[in-house]
Amino acid sequence: MALTNREIADIFETVADMLQIRGDVIHRVLSYRRASETIRELPRDLRAISAEGGLSDLPGIGKTLADKIDEMLETGELEFYSRLAAEIPPGLVRVMHVNGVGPKKARLFWDEMNIASLEALEEAAEASLLRPLKGMGAKSEQRILEGIAALARKTGRTPLGVALPAAQELLDSLLSLPQAGCGYVAGSIRRGRPSIGDVDLLVASDEAAPLMDAFVSMPQVARVLGHGPTKSSVELHSGLQVDLRVLSAARMGTALSYFTGSQAHNVRLRERALRLGYSLNEHALRPVGADGSSLDEEANHVLCASEEELYERLGLPFIAPELREDAGEFEAADAGELPELITLQDLRADLHMHSTWSDGREDIRAMVGGARARGRKTVVITDHSQYSAIANGLDADRLLRQQLEVRAVDREFPDMRVLHGVEMDIRADGTLDYPDDLLSQLDFVVASLHYSLRQERSVITRRLLNAIENPHVDLIGHPHGQLIEKRPPADLDMDAVFEAAARTGTALEINSNPQRLDLEAHYARRAVELGIPLSINSDAHDTAGMDLLPYGILTARRGWVQAENVINAWPQDRLLAWLERKA
């Protein structure tokens, strides 16, 4: 069984947890964790990198870890993991992740009570058997039961498309209060991660108490986890956890920067500050004395009301939140080469949307009107093809009849260009759903994988390559077929996909639907490096679906994408000329 990057990353993450429970030195634990993160975000297949002998050039991966990766690639297993699993039951890893447990207590429960699973932990807590243990009591037992319940309600991280609107709604309520100044959604949401752990809100005010009281009693709140003078935490009915911090407007810049993260970016910022003679935290820049001690009288502190000010103090241009992952943004800033990231206003066209002809909820005319109202100048109607029978996909006959309607609507909107396309299935056997002579009558062809997404790598990659190599296919829709936190991406050989796309001039989509966000940012960045054209589309099934484009834009920005890289950000005549490049 060939392991995917993701599976190898999962194994390293579990190893890190097991080592932590075993009580290994933190350095060793962190090296596995870092490797896991590197691999999870890798835009290339580990097998290809291994074949080139490049594993140990990856950040955080030395000879030892490279050997372990090779072992997994060759055998599908890791002996070190098996040995650890014989020593530390894998169920303990779940126990450790219960809020209020952690590695030390997990170890304690196992040593003292032989608890090695969530079920055993729950039983013991319910029978009040944990409270006699060292450092435990009735209250901590109760917290553990709540933690287990929270874990059961929560399936990992929350999709950005769920968390961002919830966060914005809470923030808007807070900002409507008379005591509130400005406010922000910070954390991983602001950086545009496709899924998030918890929500981080910041509000400026000199009167925190009324804001905190209002926050913990909002109707969305299921449980108050903490209610303090400057910080409160709640759990919403949805299971989402939200932290609110209130601070003075004069300190908003340092706080926003700190709580936007990422942690890795913050570490680099602190290093910069230290070189300039400051220690940096969420409150202020504090001058460091000659002896290395920070001068702690407030009078010496440098406050930054805005992030721009903070970056300027550190000798840096403003770095967009989406870039703050310590993934080259500091080097680019120093070289004066930060990208000018794409914005929503740059999108002149929407090249992927559905209508009532297949599974859309509004007709072609309504969809075109909706796109025009949102500032688009070019629209392509791309309904499903016949293979997607459950989506009411179009056979050849209906497709050609639809074309007549598209042409008629195009004439009704003189200021818009309405094109006729299709979202054609790539069938499970790798053949395309329409013959070439039919495809040649369309203005634009999106080809997508929708079914049999669990095929093995060589098979599913071959399917996608068949579409890319076809002279009529312009765009590959949502290439990986993933659903965020629900369905893992198809196991594609992305090196092969990128090679073929670059060679044939086929565009790859960043699908804006927040359930998809596919291509992911790290793949988008790789595509940009390889000169592959990208396209950011709504894949809307009604006009409201067009309002999801900001998610695609966030994802693109995380991938360092500029307007120049995106075919639907080009002027209309350039886009139309590009459409003529193939057949």
**Cα 299 from chain centre:** 41
* Residue 446 DSSP one-character state: E
The answer to whether residue 187 forms part of the interface with Ca ion (CB under 5 A) is yes
Q: Least distance to Ca ion from the beta carbon of 245, Å?
A: 9
Chosen residue from 262, 431, 452, 455 binding ligand DGT by CB under 6 A = 262
Q: Least distance to Ca ion from the beta carbon of 411, Å?
A: 50
**Tokens matching residue 307:** 């992030």
The answer to whether residue 198 forms part of the interface with Ca ion (CB under 5 A) is yes
**Partner touching 261 among ligand DGT, Ca ion, Zn ion, none, CB below 5 to 8 Å by kind:** ligand DGT
Which residue lies nearer to ligand DGT by CB, 238 or 356?
238
Q: How many residues bind ligand DGT (CB under 6 A)?
A: 14
Angstrom distances, CA of residue 141 to CA of 94, 159, 234: 17, 30, 20
Distance between CA atoms of 72 and 74, rounded to whole angstroms?
Answer: 5
Which residue lies nearer to ligand DGT by CB, 47 or 193?
193
**Tokens matching residue 9:** 């990353």
Name the segment binding Ca ion (CB under 5 A); options: 5-13, 108-116, 181-189, 454-462: 181-189
**Partner touching 211 among Zn ion, ligand DGT, Ca ion, none, CB below 5 to 8 Å by kind:** none
Chosen residue from 184, 259, 311, 570 binding ligand DGT by CB under 6 A = 259
User: What angle (nearest 5°) sits at the alpha carbon of residue 66, between those of residues 65 and 72?
Assistant: 90
Name the segment binding Ca ion (CB under 5 A); options: 56-64, 92-100, 236-244, 441-449: 236-244
The answer to whether residue 258 forms part of the interface with ligand DGT (CB under 6 A) is yes
Q: Least distance to Ca ion from the beta carbon of 187, Å?
A: 3
Q: Give every CB contact of residue 128 below 8 A, 6+ residues apart in sequence.
A: 138, 141
One-letter amino acid identity for 404?
Answer: L
Positive or negative: CA dihedral 163, 188, 559, 257: positive
Name the segment binding Ca ion (CB under 5 A); options: 16-24, 210-218, 242-250, 408-416: 242-250
**Tokens matching residue 369:** 């009107």
**Partner touching 441 among Zn ion, ligand DGT, Ca ion, none, CB below 5 to 8 Å by kind:** none
- Binders of Ca ion among residues 85 to 114 (CB under 5 A) are none
Which residue lies nearer to ligand DGT by CB, 3 or 203?
203
Q: Give every CB contact of residue 549 below 8 A, 6+ residues apart in sequence.
A: 344, 347, 350, 374, 512, 536, 537, 538
Distance between CA atoms of 553 and 212, rounded to whole angstroms?
Answer: 33
CB 417 within 8 A of CB 443: no
Name the segment binding ligand DGT (CB under 6 A); options: 248-256, 261-269, 525-533, 572-580: 261-269
Which residue lies nearer to Zn ion by CB, 422 or 521?
422
Chosen residue from 17, 141, 200, 423 binding Ca ion by CB under 5 A = 200
User: How many residues are present in the chain?
Assistant: 583
The residue behind tokens 């350039």 is 574
Distance between CA atoms of 278 and 314, rounded to whole angstroms?
Answer: 9
Distance between CA atoms of 521 and 322, rounded to whole angstroms?
Answer: 10
Burial of 421 by CB count in 10 Å (0-12 exposed, 13-18 middle, 19+ buried)?
buried
Helix (H, G, I), strand (E, B) or coil at 159: strand
Q: Which residue is nearest to ligand DGT (CB)?
A: 261
Q: Give every CB contact of residue 111 below 8 A, 6+ residues apart in sequence.
A: none
Kindly give the pairing relationship between strand 417-425 and strand 195-196.
unpaired
**Partner touching 274 among Ca ion, ligand DGT, Zn ion, none, CB below 5 to 8 Å by kind:** none
Chosen residue from 355, 448, 535, 568 binding Zn ion by CB under 5 A = 448
Helix (H, G, I), strand (E, B) or coil at 447: strand
**Partner touching 266 among ligand DGT, Ca ion, Zn ion, none, CB below 5 to 8 Å by kind:** ligand DGT
Which residue lies nearer to ligand DGT by CB, 193 or 427?
193
Q: What is the side-by-side order of every strand in the sheet holding 183-185?
A: 183-185, 199-204, 241-247, 231-236, 221-227
Distance between CA atoms of 531 and 314, rounded to whole angstroms?
Answer: 33
Which residue lies nearer to ligand DGT by CB, 160 or 476?
160
Which residue lies nearer to ligand DGT by CB, 10 or 198?
198
Strand-pair partners of 537: 511
Distance between CA atoms of 168 and 475, rounded to whole angstroms?
Answer: 33
Give the x-and-dash track for 136-175 against ligand DGT (CB under 6 A). ----------------------------------------
Name the segment binding Ca ion (CB under 5 A); options: 237-245, 289-297, 347-355, 472-480: 237-245
Tell me, letter by letter, the H, E, C secondary structure of 55-101: HHHCCCCCHHHHHHHHHHHHHCCCHHHHHHHHHCCCHHHHHHCCCCC
Chosen residue from 159, 183, 194, 261 binding ligand DGT by CB under 6 A = 261
Q: How many residues bind Ca ion (CB under 5 A)?
A: 5
Name the segment binding Zn ion (CB under 5 A); options: 317-325, 440-448, 496-504, 573-581: 440-448
Question: Which residue from 85, 79, 86, 41 is spatially nearest to 61, judged by alpha carbons?
Answer: 41
Q: Least distance to ligand DGT from the beta carbon of 476, Å?
A: 29
The answer to whether residue 263 forms part of the interface with ligand DGT (CB under 6 A) is yes
**Partner touching 258 among ligand DGT, Ca ion, Zn ion, none, CB below 5 to 8 Å by kind:** ligand DGT
The answer to whether residue 243 forms part of the interface with Ca ion (CB under 5 A) is yes
User: What angle (nearest 5°) sits at the alpha carbon of residue 222, between those of residues 220 and 228?
Assistant: 95
Name the segment binding Zn ion (CB under 5 A); options: 49-57, 222-230, 268-276, 444-452: 444-452
- Binders of ligand DGT among residues 174 to 213 (CB under 6 A) are 187-188, 193, 196-198, 200
**Partner touching 511 among ligand DGT, Ca ion, Zn ion, none, CB below 5 to 8 Å by kind:** none
Q: Least distance to Ca ion from the beta carbon of 188, Å?
A: 5
Which residue lies nearer to Ca ion by CB, 45 or 200?
200
Which residue lies nearer to ligand DGT by CB, 24 or 198?
198
Binding site for Zn ion (CB under 5 A): 448
Binding site for Ca ion (CB under 5 A): 187-188, 198, 200, 243
Binding site for ligand DGT (CB under 6 A): 187-188, 193, 196-198, 200, 258-259, 261-263, 266-267
